[in-house]
């Protein structure tokens, strides 16, 4: 099944997922609105460095523990290079640590499952939505489309008014934030691929995790 044509959540085979040159996960924790997790594939011509971003799957929940279980399922299914999001949600951190403690111990070079997100650089911005919304919308332009959405995030993208973006605070729209986290990481990967200098945040995340040994 072609990644562009596959419906959201299609049960891809490992060979079908090889169409992607990179896969990223991102999560926005629930708050006033449901939490949202997304898995994004980078596809394209590696020789000419022409890439598109395709949403493979998503999940939503207003319940934090359920949201984390969704992330675990998506991580097992797609094995993204790493997850981006807010790593300073203490409630999420406690639940994730409890789940990690309940898992069998694994070697450091073995994929441990979902261990929480790697902190997105976008969280350092004073006005995250003033950056996130134009970023997403720029990739959805009909004549220069590079981002292929397939799911329930559409209503969220259409809700914020342009004049309100500078006043929205972190956590207002978890779906928009998660999508922006994933897109930003994918674009960073593409830029690094062009310059042949790649960061490896998943190694940092595993090395710093309390379950690593």
Find tokens 């939505």 and name the residue: 129
Distance CA 147, CA 7 (A): 15
- pLDDT at site 109: 63
- pLDDT at site 110: 66
Distance CA 110, CA 93 (A): 21
- pLDDT at site 37: 96
Q: For residue 213, name the pLDDT band (cuts at 50, 70, 90).
A: very low
* Domain spanning 14-203, CATH architecture: 2-Layer Sandwich (3.30)
pLDDT tens per residue, range 60-87: 999 999 999 999 999 999 999 989 999 9
In this prediction the pTM is 0.85
Pairing of strands 147-148, 50-61: parallel
pLDDT tens per residue, range 124-172: 998 999 999 999 999 998 888 999 998 778 888 877 777 788 888 898 9
- Encoded tokens for 138: 């720029």
- pLDDT at site 210: 45
CB 11 within 8 A of CB 19: no
Q: How far is CA 147 from CA 10, 54, 64, 84, 136, in A?
A: 18, 6, 28, 18, 8
pLDDT tens per residue, range 3-35: 999 999 999 999 999 999 999 999 999 999 999
Q: DSSP letter for 104, please.
A: P
Q: For residue 200, name the pLDDT band (cuts at 50, 70, 90).
A: low
CB 175 within 8 A of CB 36: yes
Average pLDDT of the segment spanning 104-112: 67
- pLDDT at site 108: 64
Domain boundaries, the chain: 14-203
């Amino acid at each position: 099944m072609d990644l562009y044509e596959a419906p959201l959540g299609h049960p891809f085979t490992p060979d079908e997922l090889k169409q992607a040159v990179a896969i990223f996960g991102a999560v926005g924790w629930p708050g006033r609105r449901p939490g949202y997790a997304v898995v994004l594939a980078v596809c394209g011509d590696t020789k000419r460095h022409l890439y598109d971003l395709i949403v493979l799957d998503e999940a939503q929940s207003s319940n934090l523990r359920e949201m984390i279980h969704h992330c675990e399922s998506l991580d097992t299914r797609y094995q993204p290079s790493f997850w981006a999001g807010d790593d300073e949600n203490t409630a999420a951190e406690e639940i994730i640590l409890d789940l990690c403690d309940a898992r069998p111990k694994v070697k450091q070079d073995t994929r441990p499952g979902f261990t929480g997100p790697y902190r997105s650089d976008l969280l350092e911005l004073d006005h995250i939505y003033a950056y996130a919304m134009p970023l997403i919308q720029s990739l959805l332009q009909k004549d220069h489309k590079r981002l292929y959405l397939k799911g329930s995030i559409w209503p969220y993208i259409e809700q914020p008014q342009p004049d309100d973006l500078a006043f929205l605070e972190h956590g207002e729209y978890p779906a928009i934030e998660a999508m922006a986290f994933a897109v930003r990481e994918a674009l960073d990967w593409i830029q690094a691929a062009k310059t042949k200098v790649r960061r490896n945040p998943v190694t940092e995340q595993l090395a710093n995790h309390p379950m690593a040994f």
